[in-house]
Amino acid sequence: MRLAALLLLCVAIVPGCHREVEEEITVIVINQPTGLSLNASGGTATGPATGVTGGNAGAPAIHSEGSIRFGVNPPPVAPAAPAPPASFATTLTGTIGSSSTAGHVQVGDATTTTGGPITISSTDGDVVVSGTLTSGDAGTPVALTISAPNGTVFITGVVRTANTDGTADGESAGSLTITASRIVVTGAIDATGESGGAGAGGDGGVLSITSSGSDILFFGGSVNTTGGASPTDAGDGGAVTITSAAEIRLHGTTLTSDGGSASGTADATLGGFAGALTIRGPAGVAIDATLNARGGTASTSGLGAMGRPGGAVAINTAIGSTGPVQIYGAVNAAGGSASAATGTVSAGTGGALLIGNASTGAPSAVDLGTASFTLRGGTSTATGGNGPAPMTVANGYNQPGGIHFNGAIDFSAGFGATTGGASSRVEFVTNRGDIRLSGSFTGRGGDSGGTPGAGGQVRALAGDNEAADFGSIYNAASIDVRGGSSTSTGDAPGGSGVIGATNAVDFIVDSPNGSVFLQSGSSIDASGGNATGTGTAGSGGRVLLSTEDDAVSIAGSVASRGGTGSATAGTGGEGGEVQALTNSDGDGTAGPITLEAGATIDVSGGQGATGGDARSDAAAGVTAPIAVLFDAGGIGTVTQTGSIVARGGDAAGDGGDVRFDGAGTPVAGPQDLSAGLGGTLAGSFEGL
Span 96-110, mean pLDDT? 97
Domain assignment present for residue 458? The answer is yes
Tell me if the bond preceding 625 is cis, omega within 30° of 0: yes
Provide mean pLDDT across the span 30-44.
82
Amino acid at site 475: N
The pLDDT of residue 352 is: 95
Question: Is residue 78 included in any domain, yes or no?
Answer: no
Cα dihedral 406, 411, 412, 417 sign:
positive
Question: Residues 22, 115: one domain?
Answer: no
Give the domain-ending residue among 159, 185, 211: 185
What residues are paired with 239 via a beta bridge? none
Verify that 645 and 541 share a domain, yes or no: yes
139 shares a domain with 24: no
d(CA 111, CA 99) in angstroms, rounded, equals: 13
pLDDT of residue 530: 98
pLDDT tens-digit map of 138-164:
888 999 999 999 999 999 999 999 998
Q: How far apart are alpha carbons 505 and 541 in whole angstroms?
A: 8
pLDDT score, position 396: 87
CA atoms within 13 A of residue 231's CA, in its CB half-sphere: 10
Residues 332/297, Cβ–Cβ less than 8 Å: no
Verify that 485 and 633 share a domain, yes or no. yes
CB atoms inside a 10 Å sphere around CB 6: 10
What is the overall mean pLDDT for the chain? Answer: 94
- Is 57's pLDDT higher than 50? yes
Please give the backbone phi and psi of residue 57, each rounded to the nearest 5 degrees, phi first.
-70, 155
pLDDT band at residue 27 under the 50/70/90 scheme: very low
pLDDT value at 16 more than 70: no
Q: Over the stretch 526-561, which tens digit does the pLDDT of each residue have?
A: 999 999 999 999 999 999 999 999 999 999 999 999
Looking at the domain assignment, is residue 272 inside a domain? no
Residues 6 and 129 in one domain: no
Distance of CA 452 to the CA centre of its chain: 23
User: Looking at the 3D structure of the chain, how many domains does it have?
Assistant: 3
**Full domain range(s) for residue 154:** 90-185
Residues 230 and 577: their CA atoms lie apart, in Å, by 53
Per-residue model confidence (pLDDT) at position 500: 75
Is 25 a member of any domain? Answer: yes
Tell me which residue of 566, 506, 514 sits closest to 542, measured CA to CA: 506
Q: What's the count of helices (H) and strands (E) in the chain, helices before strands?
A: 2, 55
For the stretch 311-369, pLDDT in tens is 999 999 999 999 999 999 999 999 999 999 999 999 999 999 999 999 999 999 999 99
Q: Is residue 29's pLDDT more than 80?
A: no
- Could you tell me the pLDDT band of residue 641, with boundaries at 50, 70 and 90? very high
Provide mean pLDDT across the span 615-620: 92
Point out the domain boundary residue: 155, 185, 215.
185
Each residue's pLDDT tens digit, 459-490: 999 999 888 999 999 999 999 999 999 999 99
User: Does residue 356 contact residue 317 with C-beta atoms inside 8 Å?
Assistant: yes
User: What mean pLDDT comes out for the span 557-573?
Assistant: 98
436 plus 564 within the same structural domain: yes
Contact 270/236 with Cβ under 8 angstroms? Answer: no
Contact 497, 537 (CB under 8 A): no
Distance CA 683, CA 628 (A): 11
Instruction: Please give the Cα distance from 570 to 95 (Å, whole number).
Output: 78
More confident residue, 500 or 142: 142
Q: Does the pLDDT at position 680 exceed 80?
A: yes
Q: Could you tell me the pLDDT band of residue 33, with boundaries at 50, 70 and 90?
A: low
Q: Are 562 and 540 in contact (CB under 8 A)?
A: yes
Contact 203, 193 (CB under 8 A): yes
Place 664 in a pLDDT band, splitting at 50, 70 and 90.
Answer: confident
Q: Which amino acid is it at 466?
A: E
27 and 95 inside one domain:
no
Please determine, for residue 625, whether its predicted confidence score (pLDDT) is greater than 70. yes
pLDDT at 19 over 50: no
**pLDDT at 10 > cutoff 60:** no
DSSP string of 349-403? PP-EEEES-SSS--BS-EEEPEEEEE-PPPPBSSBPPP--S-EEEEE-SSSS--E
pLDDT for residue 614: 98
Q: Is residue 313 one of the residues assigned to a domain?
A: no
Pairing between strand 542-546 and 577-581? Answer: parallel
Same domain for 678 and 585, yes or no, is yes
Over residues 387-395, the mean pLDDT reads 94
Looking at the structure, tell me whether residues 472 and 588 fall in a common domain.
yes
Q: Establish if 15 belongs to a structural domain.
A: yes
Q: Provide the percentage of residues in the chain whose pLDDT is more than 70.
A: 95
At 20 the pLDDT is 30
Residue type at position 526: A
Q: What is the pTM of this model?
A: 0.93
In the listed set 144, 162, 185, which residue is the last one of a domain according to the structure? 185
401 belongs to a structural domain: no
Are 653 and 614 in contact by the 8 Å Cβ rule? The answer is: yes
Q: Is the residue at 76 inside a domain?
A: no
